[in-house]
A and B are shown apart, each in its own frame.
Chain A
């Protein structure tokens, strides 16, 4: 008998507010959380804007030693994890710890701390033979991003399969996908899944500057993230973290849990084309969608909403428009497709999980979040991108897609239970 995977808890730290209610309020209202960078002096950078989180870890229950020990991106995951586990109603202390897994994604991991300490040990870039005596005590915890899943597992007492996934900007979708496989294939009954990143740092901003991937619209940051709009000029960096509690459906039912929706399909492929470039045909993303549908035993017409990667680069928007049309056929034209990156920016490895949480909420509220700032259609992008205003709609199946550096193309499918047994 196939095991099914239910979503029973969600938690989030995103730009615009911490926690699920603030996040949904932002999405449903179509407001944007992009602004001028405040974390450091961005002068000299081409793109000086970002979607920053106003996040006070102490106010969200982290103790002083946890705050010192955990990098910002891990703090996001801990706080989002707290919310998700609370929301699930699980008493993890009563569960078999070997049957609880963790699968979290991050694209750049602890690079913010790595950069911070690098400046100390190198005399601000003067020496190659760095002086180790200037390093801070927690530096080793930033060296490998495996610290992310480790810290979350320790917090929740998980002793099953614990994994950090890092596939660039599809990390969030892939971490959720791996968790899905972990529960479906029986290696765990509960998996704490999600992703986190805090990439608003000089080195990461500079490296996206160098490839002109980020928006230079510094004078109008609130309207700078413009996916699918003909005047888009790059993505706006973001940060944040999202966690979902995935649970074997019978396990969830047995404890009378509230089930938000089911995770029914996941697939990922490489485009074998270019580390940063995308084809205009989108065949590999289309195949990911088709394979995920196939695994979910769903017809394309079962998809009522597409949560787009929608980063706000011309090549992305055309690539994924083509991919969705190829995978959904004529149905694509009557299916709303929006990008929440217009509101919360692009938080690299985290965004995939943030978008899955957005999909869970869309299903829960039966509302499609909009693409903010969308005003001027691009003749080559001719789907319904849900301009600026959220839309009520009967939603049964939703699809979330993503593309990542390395050529990765991933798709996740969620369905809401409609009186099914």
Chain B
């Protein structure tokens, strides 16, 4: 399984209080997290939530990703199949 734009959108709202609809996030996947309103702590919260949900550690660089696309590419390349 993989992390979808939908799940990232939901986590941005839950962990960082930033509402960007999945469609909007898809369109703005190359915008900086900072531009979208997610700060460094928010990204840490998203990473922590993903780790707790999926029971697997995220790559150490996940919290340093600058954009949603970078983030999804990185975490999905690291997610074990079927996790």
How many of chain A's residues have a CB under 8 angstroms from any CB in B?
A: 7
- Please tell me if the beta carbons of A274 and B44 are within 8 angstroms of each other in the complex: no
A272 on interface, CB distance cutoff 8 Å? no
Binary A-proximity of B16-48 (CB < 8 A = 1, otherwise 0): 000000000000000000000001110011001
Determine the chain A residues whose CB is within 8 A of the CB of B41 once the complex forms: 211, 275-276
- Please tell me if the beta carbons of B39 and A274 are within 8 angstroms of each other in the complex: yes
- Please tell me if the beta carbons of A277 and B40 are within 8 angstroms of each other in the complex: yes
Determine the chain B residues whose CB is within 8 A of the CB of A276 once the complex forms: 40-41
Binary B-proximity of A260-296 (CB < 8 A = 1, otherwise 0): 0000000000000011110000000000000000000
Determine the chain B residues whose CB is within 8 A of the CB of A277 once the complex forms: 39-40
Report the separation of the CA atoms of residues A212 and B62 in the bound assembly, to the nearest whole angstrom. Answer: 13
B63 on interface, CB distance cutoff 8 Å? yes
Determine the chain B residues whose CB is within 8 A of the CB of A274 once the complex forms: 39-40
Report the separation of the CA atoms of residues A334 and B18 in the bound assembly, to the nearest whole angstrom. Answer: 47
Determine the chain A residues whose CB is within 8 A of the CB of B39 once the complex forms: 274, 277
A210 on interface, CB distance cutoff 8 Å? yes
The smallest C-beta distance from B55 to any residue of chain A, in angstroms, reads 14
How big is the B interface, by class?
A: under 10
- Please tell me if the beta carbons of A210 and B48 are within 8 angstroms of each other in the complex: yes
Determine the chain A residues whose CB is within 8 A of the CB of B40 once the complex forms: 274, 276-277
Binary B-proximity of A186-216 (CB < 8 A = 1, otherwise 0): 0000000000000000000000001110000
Q: Which residue of A lies closest to B48 (CB)?
A: A210
The smallest C-beta distance from B44 to any residue of chain A, in angstroms, reads 6
Q: Which residue of B lies closest to A275 (CB)?
A: B41
Report the separation of the CA atoms of residues A128 and B39 in the bound assembly, to the nearest whole angstrom. Answer: 29
Report the separation of the CA atoms of residues A44 and B26 in the bound assembly, to the nearest whole angstrom. Answer: 36
Binary B-proximity of A134-161 (CB < 8 A = 1, otherwise 0): 0000000000000000000000000000
Q: Which residue of B lies closest to A209 (CB)?
A: B48
Binary B-proximity of A210-240 (CB < 8 A = 1, otherwise 0): 1110000000000000000000000000000
Q: Which residue of B lies closest to A274 (CB)?
A: B39
Determine the chain B residues whose CB is within 8 A of the CB of A275 once the complex forms: 41
Determine the chain A residues whose CB is within 8 A of the CB of B48 once the complex forms: 210
Q: Which residue of A lies closest to B40 (CB)?
A: A277
CB contacts under 8 Å to B, within A308-341, are none
Determine the chain A residues whose CB is within 8 A of the CB of B45 once the complex forms: 210
The smallest C-beta distance from A185 to any residue of chain B, in angstroms, reads 38
CB contacts under 8 Å to B, within A98-147, are none
CB contacts under 8 Å to A, within B32-83, are 39-41, 44-45, 48, 63
The smallest C-beta distance from B32 to any residue of chain A, in angstroms, reads 15
Report the separation of the CA atoms of residues A275 and B40 in the bound assembly, to the nearest whole angstrom. Answer: 10
The smallest C-beta distance from A373 to any residue of chain B, in angstroms, reads 23
Report the separation of the CA atoms of residues A277 and B39 in the bound assembly, to the nearest whole angstrom. Answer: 10
The smallest C-beta distance from A271 to any residue of chain B, in angstroms, reads 14
The smallest C-beta distance from A309 to any residue of chain B, in angstroms, reads 19
Report the separation of the CA atoms of residues A274 and B39 in the bound assembly, to the nearest whole angstrom. Answer: 9
Report the separation of the CA atoms of residues A321 and B47 in the bound assembly, to the nearest whole angstrom. Answer: 31
Report the separation of the CA atoms of residues A274 and B48 in the bound assembly, to the nearest whole angstrom. Answer: 21
Which of A211, A274, A275, A276 counts the most chain B CB atoms within 10 A? A211
Q: Which residue of A lies closest to B60 (CB)?
A: A212
Q: Which residue of B lies closest to A212 (CB)?
A: B44
Report the separation of the CA atoms of residues A274 and B42 in the bound assembly, to the nearest whole angstrom. Answer: 12
The smallest C-beta distance from B19 to any residue of chain A, in angstroms, reads 21
Q: Which residue of A lies closest to B39 (CB)?
A: A274
The smallest C-beta distance from B36 to any residue of chain A, in angstroms, reads 16
Report the separation of the CA atoms of residues A301 and B44 in the bound assembly, to the nearest whole angstrom. Answer: 42
Determine the chain A residues whose CB is within 8 A of the CB of B44 once the complex forms: 210-212
Q: Which residue of A lies closest to B47 (CB)?
A: A212
Report the separation of the CA atoms of residues A274 and B43 in the bound assembly, to the nearest whole angstrom. Answer: 14
The smallest C-beta distance from A277 to any residue of chain B, in angstroms, reads 6
Report the separation of the CA atoms of residues A210 and B41 in the bound assembly, to the nearest whole angstrom. Answer: 9
The smallest C-beta distance from B43 to any residue of chain A, in angstroms, reads 11
Report the separation of the CA atoms of residues A4 and B61 in the bound assembly, to the nearest whole angstrom. Answer: 52
Determine the chain B residues whose CB is within 8 A of the CB of A211 once the complex forms: 41, 44
The smallest C-beta distance from B58 to any residue of chain A, in angstroms, reads 12
Residues of B with Cβ closer than 8 Å to A?
39-41, 44-45, 48, 63
Given contacts A210-B45, A274-B39, A275-B41, 8 further A-B contacts (CB under 8 A): A210-B44, A210-B48, A211-B41, A211-B44, A212-B44, A212-B63, A274-B40, A276-B41
Residues of A with Cβ closer than 8 Å to B?
210-212, 274-277
What are 14 sample pairs from A and B whose C-beta atoms fall under 8 A apart?
Answer: A210-B44, A210-B45, A210-B48, A211-B41, A211-B44, A212-B44, A212-B63, A274-B39, A274-B40, A275-B41, A276-B40, A276-B41, A277-B39, A277-B40
